[in-house]
Every structure is written in C-alpha cells, then in structure tokens.
Chain A
Amino acid sequence: MKLTRRALLTRGAAGLAGLILAPGVLSPLFTKLTQADSLHEVDPESYDWGDHYYGFLVDTTRCIGCGKCMVACKLENHVPNEPDCNRTWIERYVISEDGEVFVDSPDGGIGGFSSFPENIKYRDVHIAQSFFVPKLCNQCDNPPCVQVCPVGATYMTKDGIVLVDQKRCIGCRYCIQACPYGARYLVPPHADVTPQGQTGVADKCTWCYHRITKGLLPACVEACPVNARIFGDMRDPDSAPRKALRDARVYTLKPALGTKPKVYYIGLNVEVR
C-alpha cells in the first residue's frame, strides 16, 4: 500500500490526538490511585490516624515467661487455638558456660515453661544465663511482607500498623515466607475460631488495632503482670515508651536486614536471633 505524505500526517495527527485525549475519556474506568490525607477525611466520626504513630518496647529483663500475654491475645483477637498459630510468643534462651545456646518455646510458651530438672537437654549443663524473650510483629517501617504481597492484601496504615486485608488475601504465603521474624502465620482451613471469619489467609499481630484506635492498650500489654511490654504513641512525649526510652538502652531484632522494626528491646542479649 502506498502511504502518501498527506495520509501519514493526517492519520498521525488523529492518532496522536486520540492518545492525548484517551486518558481523559478512559480515566473514570481506571481506579484512582490518589492518597487521601486521613481516615478522618473519609469518615469524620472516626479517629484521625494522621495524629498518631505507635511504638512498642519489650523489657526482656522483666519477662517471667508466664504466658498470660498469649492467652489474652488469643481471646481478644480470636486467634485459632492451634499451637503454631500465634500472633505473639515467648522464647526461652538458656546459655551454658561453654557458650552453647538452647532455645525453646513449647507451644509458644502459652502454658508456661517447665523447670530445668525435667528438661533433659539442660540436665548436665552448667548454665551461665537464662531468660525469656517475648516476640510479636515488629510493624516494620520497611516491611518485607508488604513488599512481596502480589495482590495488595497487606499494607501499612498511616499510624504505623501493618494490616492484612483477609478478604483480599489469596493465601499464597509469600508474606509468611518473607517475614524474617516469623511473625505471620496462616489461618488453618479448619480453624475453630478465626480473626475475621476467613480461613486459609495470612494473619499476624496488629498491636490490637481495634483497641489502640480507641485509646486502649493492646491485650498483651494489658495482661502482662510485670510490665515487660510497653506500648504508646511515639508522637506523645509523655507516652510510656517515650518515657522508658529516656533511661533504657534498646536494640531491635535483626537490624541488618533493613526492615526498620518498631519493637525496641531492652536487655536484648547478643545470642537472641
């Protein structure tokens, strides 16, 4: 076919005009990717997430490994009762004089821990140090779990909490794999209770988002009898974690991974992974 110069110019101009106008015509068909400023804008009655940014402190020098935090969490958040479905858990570290490290977490620690004489592993070992480390989701500022989600089911809110949209989650478990702290788990298909009525989806600690947005403390913080868990709004200079940080020296778990976790640990021993 012979394309004349006139044909090229007229058809080319028409095509170009079409390309320029098309987004304006077609944009109502595309979803908007604009950022609204706050939840408050959407629903004025609700709390303004732009005003808060939460932080968590765990004092491992105080933890007694009683497991009350886990019981409270399971009740408050309807976490399945299976032993490997835990939003928070406790690890016991036993360090021998030779430098050998033993870690155990029976059912996460929900039933407490047995004393050493019954535990064969430590029977003949001279123990130099032993302590408990409670762990939970670190609500990282650079969360690997959010990065890998293929469907946009997990995200970070403006107040710093990473949540999972369980209606959107397809259960691919990529986020569970991606989390370096093991904070996520899959709600089992035949779970007796479920956090939001969905099974086969990823779930994790939300720092009791439904409680903190009402000004309450997370269930585990409320339950801890020895004040090993400290929660508050990092924007408020008088909040409990801000006050504790003035005198405490803290570390985070796996800082080299660049996840920027928001749970700070007081008394984190070098062997804690």
Chain B
Amino acid sequence: MNKEMRHLARAGIVLGLFIAGIIIARQVLTPDSFGQFGYYRGDNVAEWAGLPLTFSETALCAECHSPKYTQWSSSAHAGVSCENCHGPAVAHIEKKQPLTVNRASSLCLTCHERLLSRPSSFPQVISTQHNPGVSCATCHNPHNPVIGQPPAIPHSLEGRADCLLCHGSQGLKPAPLNHAGRTIEICQLCHKPGSATPSKAPPISSPTAATAAPTGTPTATNAAAGPPLIPHSLAGRDDCLLCHERGIAGAPVIPASHAGRTSNVCQLCHKGTTQ
C-alpha cells in the first residue's frame, strides 16, 4: 500500500467496523422469532392465543344447572346468555367462586327500559309507569319471563266493573284454572291496564296466557312461574303475616306491592307443594 492510499485504508477500516457493528447489533437485538411468518415477531401470535379466559360459554352451564337451563333455553330469554346477567363464569367453574344474582330492577331495565332508539318490536316498559318500586322478578321469572307474567288489561275498564262476567268459568274468555276462587277485588293487583307498550302485552286470550297456567299439581318447574309456592307445611301456620310481615326466622318479607293484603288472601295466589 503506497502513501497515497493510506488515508483511504483508515477510512475503510472505520466504515468496515461501523457496518460490522450494525450487523452484529441487529442480530443481537432482533428477537429470534421475528420474520418467522412476516414482518413481525412470530411468538406474539401464540401469546395472544394463550391469554386466559374470563367468560365461559353458555352451553357449559347446562352441565350443572340442567333444569334451569332447560327452562331458560325454551323461553323468550333464550338469546340472553347466562353470563350476561350472572357475570363471567370461568372463576365459578374452576374455583367454585359463587356467582352473585342481582335481583334489582336496574339489571332488567338496562335492556327493557323504553328508549326511542330501540327497535319497536323489542319489549320495553316505561319504568315509572310499570309497577314502579316493584322488583321485576316479582312477576317475571328471568328464566322464563313470559310464562307467569300477568297479562296487561288491553281494554278500557269503563262499564266493566265485574271481571268475572266475561272471565269467570262460564264467561266468554275464562281465566286460567289456577285462578279458581279469586274474587274481582284482587284482579288488578296483578293485571295492570295497558302498562307496557301495548304491542308487546299479550292479550288475555293469547295461547301463552291461557295454556301456561298449570292445571294439576304444582311442580318444581313452575314453582317460579308467578307467585312463589309455599315451601313449608301449613300445619299450625294459619297467620301468614306473623312471619312474613317482618321476616321472622328467615321468612321472606312480603313485597311492597302486597301492602294491605291480609292473611286470608295469600293462598289465592300462593299454593303449597304439599297440599
């Protein structure tokens, strides 16, 4: 190498070291799986696919909760997944953590409150007009909300003071058989005049209202269809309000909608499992 090229040699060495440095740094710093499938780190796909689950799937609930699942899956709520109301189930399945059941009306109204933007075919109620203050679950079984729901009165009540004239057993549109013995004073305790959006309130003569009522012995399945069954013997228990007015000994307190009712009318709606 002659004198005239020596300066080039030095520059060449520096450039060579620089390029070598870049190549080595790139090799060291680039993750191993980068470029495996494309211009990205290949390991990341498995990282995303391997994240833990929080929600399960509704079909798994049937394995342990079969009766409720069967009831729910043929009801109007069949499109509402169990976890939608009960919360994510993976912790419940794997670690037996209990799932809380929110019985407040606010849960139901999240979907069913009347909003103009909601499709008009979707059942909605105006909560301030539809039994305000009463929990939705009092009348509507969440696992089968239509069965047991007392149909709204679709007609005016003018000149129609005696419901039994038409809806008695000899009338034009008889009430279901489980209404036997009920007097006209209590009809409107459950049946409200047109409170829901009228198109969704099934008329009293609709098949669901007439055939839904059980005709024989009350069974466990329709226990939650409408007023709860009496789960205890009635021997020595003539006065219902003794325990149920104030919730003595764990007895459920009667809801606010029952205000003013006396012990002699309880069994018109509430039947016992052992009679």
Contact = CB atoms under 8 A, between A and B. Distances in A.
Chains A and B belong together in one complex? yes
B57 interface: yes
Interface stretch (A12-20, A60-68, A176-184, A250-258): A60-68
Contacts, number: 149
Nearest to A127: B116
Nearest to B81: A222
Interface of B is mostly: loop
A61 to B, nearest CB: 6
A170 interface: no
14 contacts: A1-B2, A36-B36, A46-B49, A47-B49, A61-B119, A64-B111, A65-B118, A130-B117, A152-B41, A155-B39, A155-B44, A165-B40, A211-B55, A225-B77
Interface in A181-230: 196, 206, 209-211, 213-214, 216-217, 219, 222-223, 225-227
Contacts of B37: 35-36, 39, 158
A40 B62 CA distance: 32
B57 A216 contact: yes
B55 A75 contact: yes
Interface of A: 1, 26, 29-36, 39, 42-43, 46-47, 49, 61-62, 64-68, 72, 75-77, 92-94, 112-113, 115-116, 127, 130-132, 152-158, 163, 165, 167-168, 196, 206, 209-211, 213-214, 216-217, 219, 222-223, 225-227
Nearest to B24: A29
Given A76-B54, A210-B50, A213-B49, A1 B119 contact: no
A37 to B, nearest CB: 9
A64 B118 contact: yes
B116 A42 contact: no
Interface stretch (B27-35, B182-190, B235-243): B27-35
A226 B122 contact: yes
Interface string B173-217: 000000000000000000000000000000000000000000000
Contacts of B36: 32, 34, 36, 42
Contact of B79 (A94, A153, A214, A225): A225
Contacts of A157: 45
A225 B113 CA distance: 14
A66 B111 contact: yes
